[in-house]
Amino acid sequence: MSQKQDYYKLLGITKGAQETEIKAAYRKAALKYHPDRNPGDKAAEEKFKELNEAYEVLGDSKKRQMYDQFGHAGVNGAQGGGASGFGGGGFSGFGGGFDADIFGDMFSDIFTGGSNRRTERNRGPQQGDDLQYQVNVNLSEVAFGTEKTIKINHTEKCNICNGSGAKKGSSPQTCPDCNGAGQVKFSRGFFSTVQTCPRCHGQGEVITNPCTKCSGKGTQNQAKNLKMKIPAGADTGVTLRLRGEGNAGMKGGQSGDLFVILNVINDTEFERRDANLYSQQNISFTQAAMGTEIGVPTIERKMAKMKIPAATQTETVFRLKDKGLPIMGTKRNGDQMVKVKIKVPKKFTKEQKSALITFAKTMGEEIDESRGKEGFIKKIFLK
């Protein structure tokens, strides 16, 4: 008792400190040294205990007065029982001059969320983590649906210890710190909190003789080739779930799932809009003028016949019914939209030029034939 540090010094404040100052100093220090934030740190634990003692006194005006007058001797009685007055009940035991709100915001995560939830999660079988992979597929693969093999890395149950983590012939032992409960009770000043056992991390048992293959984890990394079906008509963002192909569970827990997110690579020939495909097709001026039937490449890699009516204008869009992609979950298909472009040849022979001039004249276009003999049409004026 005589070794006790001055409460004001402990909180880093002066004797004349205001109530709010004391409170603020305590909050800051208590957070810093809280056992949940310093697992296994005995010095921090001790400091936390002292801080609580100091605040229990300085935070109460009557006790503070006694302390100011008589020092530790003046408030000794209050300290004798430690947390006895508040045992087990969490915050319900706080009384007197202590404001519950000091803990409400700052500590709520530590006391209500933190340790208890963690404790639960670690008990018993634990499901393995889900994994996520992205897989690139090309347009023709989704046009018909396909089977793809992807290479993944996940964890599997260790085949040496069968997931127990213990060396062959040994088995996990009940944790001596928590007697298998997975949690331990801490009493710090007026706090009494339940914490995840730092020794076994809530498992309730410890592996004294770990499996050499998995070092006690019970799981091992494993690369695996997985066959999966890419559904016809799937688009970027479509997610496929492969049950049980995530990471292995612990302590007999189920494996997680593997989520495969599709990314459909842009195609150079076809632009996709939902189930419709857009393509472009060059036709000659004569084809456009006279009308014809042409072959158009489709995603099926077969030519589809397409009629070009006479007097077709450039950039006219024709629809090839059902030549688009399958509409997922239906038996229907989208369409292929074909935009035709009239292509002008880059070179003409003499005969072609002369034919064009003849044609232009019949259209009533004014021709300047001054350089015609050089094979060069200087001007064509459209009326």
211 contributes a contact to Zn ion by CB under 5 A: yes
Interface stretch with Zn ion, choices 12-20, 35-43, 153-161, 324-332 (CB under 5 A): 153-161
Question: Taking CB under 5 A as the rule, does residue 248 contact Zn ion?
Answer: no
Question: CA-based Rg of the chain, rounded to a whole angstrom?
Answer: 40
Closer Cβ to Zn ion, 45 or 177, answer by number: 177
Measured from the CB atom, the residue of 173 and 236 that comes closer to Zn ion is: 173
Specify the stretch interacting with Zn ion by CB under 5 A; choose among 41-49, 103-111, 210-218, 251-259: 210-218
Question: Cα separation of 276 and 333, whole Å?
Answer: 8
Give 276's contacts (C-beta < 8 A, 6+ positions apart).
Answer: 324, 325, 334, 335, 336, 337
| Number of Cβ atoms within 10 Å of the Cβ of 202 | 23
Of residues 200 and 337, the one with the C-beta less far from Zn ion? 200
Give the ranges where the chain is alpha helix by DSSP (H). 7-11, 19-33, 42-58, 61-70, 72-80, 101-108, 115-122, 139-144, 285-290, 350-362
Quick one: which segment of 69-77, 87-95, 151-159, 353-361 binds Zn ion (CB under 5 A)? Answer: 151-159
Distances (CA, A) of 38 to 29, 106, 130: 13, 16, 30
Taking the least distance from each CB to Zn ion, the nearer of 30 and 207 is 207
Q: Does 214 bind Zn ion (CB under 5 A)?
A: yes
Q: Which is closer to Zn ion, CB of 175 or CB of 340?
A: 175
User: With binding defined as CB under 5 A, does residue 213 bind Zn ion?
Assistant: yes
- Asked if 306 is part of the footprint of Zn ion (rule: CB under 5 A), the reply reads no
Least Å distance, CB 251 to Zn ion, is 13
What is the nearest approach in angstroms of Zn ion to the Cβ of residue 70? Answer: 43
In sequence order, what are the residues at sequence separation of 6 or more whose Cβ sits closer than 8 angstroms to the Cβ of residue 187?
82, 83, 87
Give the span between the Cα atoms of 361 and 253, in whole angstroms.
87
Which of residues 10, 11, 75, 200 is near Zn ion by CB under 5 A?
200
Closest CB to Zn ion among 183 and 298? 183
**Cβ–Cβ < 8 Å for 153, 223:** yes
- Six token digits for residue 235: 């688009």
Nearer to Zn ion, 161 or 264 (CB): 161
Query: In Å, how far are 23, 101, 320 from 8, measured between CA atoms?
Result: 12, 22, 86
- The closest alpha carbon to 158, from 234, 213, 227, 240, belongs to 213
As measured in angstroms, the least distance from the Cβ of 115 to Zn ion is: 13
Indicate whether 158 belongs to the interface with Zn ion (CB under 5 A).
yes
Q: How far is the CB of 119 from Zn ion (least distance, A)?
A: 10
The footprint of Zn ion on residues 160-199 (CB under 5 A) is 160-161, 175, 177-178, 197, 199
Question: Binding residues for Zn ion, how many (CB under 5 A)?
Answer: 12
With contacts defined by CB under 5 A, name the span among 28-36, 96-104, 107-115, 203-211 that binds Zn ion.
203-211
DSSP symbols for 305-357 = EEEE-TTPPTT-EEEETT-S-B-TTSS-B--EEEEEEEEPPS---HHHHHHHH
Closest CB 208 distance from Zn ion, rounded Å: 13
Tell me how many degrees the CA angle 316-319-321 measures, rounded to the nearest 5: 175
Of 58 and 200, the one with the shorter C-beta distance to Zn ion is 200
Query: d(Cα 9, Cα 15) in Å, to the nearest integer?
Result: 9
What residues line the site for Zn ion (CB under 5 A)? Answer: 158, 160-161, 175, 177-178, 197, 199-200, 211, 213-214
